[in-house]
Structure 1
Amino acid sequence: MKNSALIIFLIAFSTYKVTGQKVEVIKFPELQQIINEDNADLKVINFWATWCKPCIEELPYFEEINRNYKKNDLEVILVSLDFVEQVDTKVKDFVEKEALASKLYLLDETDYNKIIDSIHTSWSGAIPATLIVDNRKNKKDLYERQFKEGELSQLIKTLIN
């Protein structure tokens, strides 16, 4: 009888889907607030999407920064530009599969052209794009490109020192 109960428990537990990191859906005013908060010395805000191959390729570098530099008052924020209708399917499934641990948001906007310049005047709207907010220097820099292995880590090291 104990063995039957144990087997039933193991089967039930193995089919239970553990949800990973939460993906919060936000509008542009909330994103502006996140960007402008001075709750960390450095904020690394990456704009990406599940359909963007270069974005997906560089995500591990942001996760590495998130793991390695938390003690340096650095915050990594990943902002998905996927369609809001895909948050519960495609985006959350991707986040869980990749075990992303950084803060995650999905920007729910339909007219990105209205907000691109508000994020940074040099942004064309292409992704991947990374906004680095240095609250110590009151400075915002945009990197509209894909980071290669080691590049993001080197950039963060120079900013911290």
Structure 2
Amino acid sequence: MKRILVLFLLVICSCMDNTEKNNEVSAPEATLSVVEKAHDVSDFDLRIYDYDGLEPLINRQDEKIHVVNFWATWCAPCVKELPYFEAINQEYKENNVEVLLVSLDFPKNYETKLIPFIKKRELQSEVVAFDDVDQNRWITAINKDWSGAIPATIIYNKDKRQFYERSFTKEELETELKQFLN
């Protein structure tokens, strides 16, 4: 019951369009262990992470520029902007840009909604599912000012990190990304 309440609250707070919330943050210092589950459905291997498993994926210290988008199939603004992340993934791959799409879909919908959605739209960016009910821990760990609403995006490299609690047009996303390319 607690899990249902937490997920309900996340749904209620989600899909807000907060265009002013852009906050520069530093990556969390603690390194947590990787916990991963695989969800294999008809030739599609969906990697599912709790926060301990996701944390290394959203805090890499390498030579790449990482674009991490938190989204869900039930979030209309998220679905609307997904093609822009796909375009960025293709157009800037040669510039060492890597896109990670972190789905906040409910685990009961992985087989019926999330995986068919990924297949139908032929998403080429890396997609992982995030399943962790301890939102009091992971929301503030990802960004201390994040309300938990989606879409939300992190763009970072080893020197700079920017958090956005908003949706993007392709031009806006590209403008933000270019700040990291210089």
Q: TM-score, normalised by structure 2?
A: 0.73
Structure 1: how far apart are the matches of 2:67 and 2:137?
22
Other-structure match for 1:160: 181
**Maintained 8 Å contact 2:62/2:157:** no
Structure 2: how far apart are the matches of 1:93 and 1:39?
32
CA change 1:155–1:96 in 2 (3 A) is same
Higher helix share: 1
Equivalent residues in 2 for 1:62-81, closer than 5 Å: 62-81=85-104
Q: TM-score, normalised by structure 1?
A: 0.81
Other-structure match for 1:115: 138
* Matching of residue 32 in structure 1 with residue 55 in structure 2: yes
Q: Of 118, 128, 134, which residue of structure 1 is paired with 2:151?
A: 128
Give unpaired runs (5+ residues) of structure 1.
1-17
Q: Deviations over 1:88-140 (max 9, x none)?
A: 221000011111110111001123232101011121111000011221x1x22
Higher mean alpha-carbon deviation, 102-111 vs 47-56, is at 102-111
- Which structure has the larger Rg? 1
Provide the alpha-carbon RMSD of the alignment.
1.6
TM superposition shift of 1:19: 5.1
Length, aligned pairs only: 141
TM superposition shift of 1:38: 2.0
Q: Which amino acid aligns with 2:177?
A: I
Q: Deviations over 1:10-68 (max 9, x none)?
A: xxxxxxxx856x43111111111111222442110000000000000000000001001
Other-structure match for 1:148: 169
Structure 2: how far apart are the matches of 1:49 and 1:129?
11
CA change 1:82–1:40 in 2 (3 A) is farther
* Matching of residue 101 in structure 1 with residue 124 in structure 2: yes
SS of match in other structure, 2:170: coil
Q: Which runs of 4+ in 1 moved over 6 A?
A: none
Structure 2: how far apart are the matches of 1:92 and 1:39?
29
Structure 2: how far apart are the matches of 1:37 and 1:154?
22
SS of match in other structure, 1:158: helix
Q: Which amino acid aligns with 1:109?
A: D
Higher RCO (CA-CA < 8 Å; seq separation 6+): 2
